[in-house]
Structure 1
Amino acid sequence: MGLLADILLVAGTLAVAAYCYVLSARLRKFATLESGMGSAVALLSAQVDDMTRALDRARGSAQASATGLEALTARAEMAAARMEVLLASMHDLPSPDRATDSRPLRFIRRKTSRAVEEDAL
């Protein structure tokens, strides 16, 4: 009975040794930076760094575009306000269909006397 237990113990030890050998080989492949999973992790890390830099550049560009767009919007609002004032002043002019007098307007210049001009200076 003791001999059978010793044989089973040796068989179990050999099985565990083979299992450890296989695990160590897999771990070596996993940790190798050139060809294993380590290279994939290093590659992904480099890609994450590149994407972070690209995102920072895009964020800066978007901020600059937003600032420029805000300035252009402010200019457009000012121009729209001026146009509204001009449009409102156009309503004060007489329309051509209401004009009953078809004669052109005449402008008269009057000469002022020298005394009035000298007093003004």
Structure 2
Amino acid sequence: MDLIADILLVAGALGAGIYCFVLSRRLSRFNDLEKGVGGAVAVLSAQVDDLTRTLESAQATASTSTDSLGGLTDRAENVARRLELLVASMHDLPESGAAAAEQREDVSPEKAPPAGPVFRRHAATGATG
């Protein structure tokens, strides 16, 4: 009986040893930096670093663009103010043309020049006839 127990104990220990050996090989292949999960983690880590650098570059570019756009907006607002002043000062200028003639009391509306374009025929030069 003791002999059978010893044989079973040796067989169990031998089976556990083989199981540990196979498991060790699988785990080393799993963590291999070339083909396993370790390689995938290394590749993903490199990609995260690249994306971080790209994001920092994009943020710097956006900041520069924002500053430039702010300057252009300020310039546009200043020009708009100047144009508003110019338009407001146009009300101080005297009116010209048909509207000014109609406002004068000494000129009747029939004698006022026409408001639209005027077409006149000129004699042909150099024509004999």
For 1:13 and 1:73, the matched residues in 2 are separated by: 82
Cross-structure match for 1:23:
23
Fraction of identical pairs, as percent: 54
| Aligned mates of 1:79, 1:11 — CA distance in 2 | 95
Report how far residue 94 of structure 1 moved. 5.0
Is 1:100–2:107 an aligned residue pair? no
- Deviation string 1:31-64 (CA, Å, 9 cap, x unpaired) is 3222222221221111111111111111111111
Task: Please tell me whether residue 78 in structure 1 is matched to residue 101 in structure 2.
Answer: no
Q: How far apart are residue 80 of structure 1 and its match? A: 1.3
Instruction: Note the C-alpha offset of 1:92.
Output: 3.4
More helix by share: 1
The whole-number CA distance in structure 2 between the counterparts of 1:67 and 1:14 is 74
**Alpha-carbon deviation of 1:3?**
4.1
Please state how far the C-alpha of 1:87 moved relative to its aligned partner. 2.2
TM-score, normalised on structure 2?
0.64
Give the aligned partner of residue 57 of structure 2. 57
Counterpart-to-counterpart distance in 1, 2:28 and 2:35:
11
| Count of matched residue positions in the alignment of Structure 1 and Structure 2 | 103
Give the equivalent residue in structure 1 for 2:122: none
- Separation of aligned partners in 2, 1:38 and 1:10: 36
- Structure 1 gaps of 5+ residues are 104-121
TM-score, normalised by the number of residues in structure 1: 0.68
Deviation at 1:71, TM superposition (A): 0.6
Q: Superposition RMSD on alpha carbons, in Å?
A: 2.5
Deviations 1:89-119 (Å, cap 9, x if unpaired)?
233345564751269xxxxxxxxxxxxxxxx
